[in-house]
Chain A
Amino acid sequence: MSKKEYEIPSVPACPEELYTPEVQPGASESVRSYPAAAQHQEPLGFPGEIPDDWQDRALTRMEELLTRSRSLRVYLESCVRCGACTDKCHYYLGTGDPKNMPVARQDLMRDIYRRHFTPAGRNFPSLVRGRELTREVMDEWFTYFHQCSQCRRCSVYCPYGIDTAEISMAAREILDAAGFGQKYVNEILCKVHKIGNNLGLPGPALEDTLEGLEEDLKDDTGQDIKIPLDAQGADILLVTPSADFFAEPHVDGLMGYAKVFHQAGLSWTLSSYASEAGNFGMFIGNYEQMKKVAERIRKAAIDLGVKRIVVGECGHAWRVAYSFWNTLAGIGHGADEKDEYARALQAQLDPNYPVPQHICELTYDLMQQGVLKFDPTANDHIGLTFHDSCNVARASRMGDMPGGQMEIPRALLRASVRNFHDMADTTIGDATFCCGGGGGLLTDELLDIRIKGALPRVTALRDVMEDKGITHMAAICAICKAQFTKVLPYYDLPMDTVVSLHQMVGNALRLDKGEI
């Protein structure tokens, strides 16, 4: 299997030396996702095979998207080719492939737009810069729109605010409609609908796993810290990525949440029906899939009778929850007046708390109220930095102040670890670099660009490791955690360099009732 050797980029001495690489046309053209098979296409309503009329289907879908989303049309119309985005993409910095410059990625769709959707392109195709939608174009889309992690860093630097992520999501939606699905994401969406989570972890296995974790918590702390499942009438439903039940260091984060709930005396539960916060429907830009996945959470919340919904450490899930749950499922506000389930849920949830609430917001509020006490010396063996997840940093908010999504996680980490240092300013906050595995790219056949795409983050991390004695990097996203665990060893950094934020919180949290 993975005998393949990967070319590891050399890491610059510091982030200031992350120069624009030499252009290498075609450098990553052979890095391709596996196509989805019929069994992963048809349950989602996509063609199982590439149909004869794939071009009509693609163009029809594109027209629908252009009609439904004015922003998409604006993004395709308004690029002035200023070049500000070119060196902002981690995949371009890592590969040098010019098609990984955000403008070039956008152009893959823009050229089709000009040819097929503008009067000049339709009538005088030779006079405009445009391209006929051919199989070759579809193949190119499939390759390069799956080398975009939809992290939106380029859009921060675009003077027009063109959002490549939105173009990439639309492209994948068109690809799916024409039968060119990607295996990784579509297989996972099928599992969510069938089993309730991305992993395909059935209820009994989840129950068994949680019992094991409760034993571990007892061994570690001497206390009976519970991780309740399907507890009818609990106050809080925690929805978290299923990787939190399965992988390392994700599990340590889950145990950290459990300690917080325990210490604050809150009544909470997980749901075996909605055992996934992640919503891969967003990665493929498919509204119906996003809605269907979001509605599982609404159903679980109604069935369990909870008063609050809290989301665990998952980057894109928080974007979906914070920005889209309201219109998708009426969680919070929004939803049609006639949508009785949305209305029922809105009446049921406690308006005194944010709906939904991020686990970091919950822990932070408890810390502010003095309900939780921290002993950061428990983490004195650790020097810590923090990796802002792209979807949290650039597509959501925490708390009630601008930048809260950057400040709240850091406030928790500073309370938990004495040696905390940020990485270079150009690589954090809303300028954060993607881990290299987001947006539906966390799959082994894309490991080549995952390794290369991690280069900017590795550069900034190494810098603080050498200068500030940093040993670990906390993350609040299941994809970031899995990606770094996998790729850091290629850069000679230990896989356990990456930790969960609530793992650090859990270590430092004082579980005794005594005064400090």
Chain B
Amino acid sequence: MAYEVNGITVETDEEGYIEDLSKWSKEVAEIMAKEDDCELTEEHWEIINFLREYYEEFQIAPAVRVLTKQIGKRLGPEKGNSKYLYELFPYGPAKQACRYAGLPKPTGCV
């Protein structure tokens, strides 16, 4: 599978995760979300941007608890929980949000 975005071919694996993380762009995230009938709002972007920052520093997506805590700090305590994240990303914050953010899929018993 691949997306054509601004003249760049962005290849994905069988599950739709980007193969070459450097080819990610906001447009790719928007196209992916559209396919899932999901419109990316500012709230979605808060999370996607945090995932990318974290990945930049640690080369892995943050644990769910790290993510919820950070969102609570940034957007208010009422949003720092996985319920809020699942409302935004019904297929799972780790998997769906990571995919839009251009991060590899977390593997293992998760």
| Residues of chain A lying within 8 A (CB to CB) of residue B35 | 1
Q: How far is the CB of A444 from chain B (nearest CB, A)?
A: 6
Q: Which single residue of chain A is at the shortest CB-CB distance from B15?
A: A444
Q: Which parts of A208-239 form the interface with B (CB within 8 Å)?
A: 208-209, 212-213, 216
> What CA separation (Å) do A478 and B92 show in the bound complex?
17
Q: Does A248 touch B at the CB level, under 8 Å?
A: yes
28 contacts between A and B (CB under 8 A): A1-B15, A1-B35, A1-B36, A184-B107, A187-B107, A188-B108, A198-B109, A199-B106, A199-B108, A202-B58, A202-B59, A204-B58, A209-B63, A212-B63, A212-B66, A241-B108, A241-B109, A243-B109, A247-B63, A247-B64, A250-B109, A251-B65, A445-B14, A445-B15, A478-B110, A481-B109, A482-B109, A482-B110
A197 at the interface (CB under 8 A from B): yes
Select A199's contact among B91, B92, B107, beta carbons within 8 Å: B107
Q: How far is the CA of A202 from the CA of B56 in the complex (A)?
A: 13
Q: Which residues of A contact B104 (CB under 8 A)?
A: 200
* Residues of B contacting A444 in the complex (Cβ-Cβ under 8 angstroms): 15, 95
- Chain A interface residue count, CB cutoff 8 Å, equals 41
Q: A212-B66, A248-B64, A248-B82 are in contact. Are A1 and B110 (CB under 8 A)?
A: no
Residues of chain A within 8 A of B16, CB atoms compared: 1
On whether A246 and B106 interact (CB within 8 A), knowing A213-B65, A445-B14, the answer reads: yes
Say whether A248 contacts B109, CB under 8 Å.
no
B42-74 CB contact bits vs A (8 Å, 1 = yes)?
000000000000000011101111100100000
The one of B62, B92, B99, B108 that contacts A243, using a Cβ cutoff of 8 Å: B108
Q: How large is the interface on B (under 10, 10 to 19, 20 to 34, 35 or more residues)?
A: 20 to 34
Shortest CB-to-CB span from A242 to chain B, Å, is: 6
A278 at the interface (CB under 8 A from B): yes
Docked Cα-Cα span, A341 to B92, in Å, equals: 43
A508: Cβ under 8 A from any B Cβ: no
Measured CB to CB, the closest approach of chain A to B62, in angstroms, equals 8
Distance, CA A191 to CA B109, complexed state (A): 13
B60 and A205 contact, CB distance less than 8 A: yes
Q: How far is the CA of A157 from the CA of B37 in the complex (A)?
A: 48
A198 touches B14 (CB 8 A): no
Output the nearest chain A residue to B83 by Cβ-Cβ distance.
Answer: A496
B interface list, Cβ under 8 A from A: 14-16, 32, 35-37, 58-60, 62-66, 69, 82, 91-92, 94-96, 99, 104, 106-110
**B98 CB to nearest A CB, Å:** 11
Contacts of A1 in B (CB 8 A): 15-16, 32, 35-36, 91, 96, 99
Find the A residue at minimum CB distance from B92.
A486
In the complex, chain A residues whose CB is within 8 Å of the CB of B107? 184, 187-188, 191, 198-200
Which residue of B36, B66, B95, B110 is within 8 Å of A209 (Cβ)?
A: B66
Is A34 located at the chain interface by the 8 A CB criterion?
Answer: yes
Q: Is the CB of A243 within 8 A of B66?
A: no
| Bound-state Cα–Cα, A2 to B17, Å | 13
A303 to chain B, nearest CB (A): 23
Q: How far is the CB of B73 from chain A (nearest CB, A)?
A: 11
Chain A residues within 8 Å of B69, by CB? 212, 216
Contact A243 B110, beta carbon cutoff 8 Å: yes
Q: Mark A29-57, 1 if CB is under 8 A from B, else 0.
A: 00000100000000000000000000000
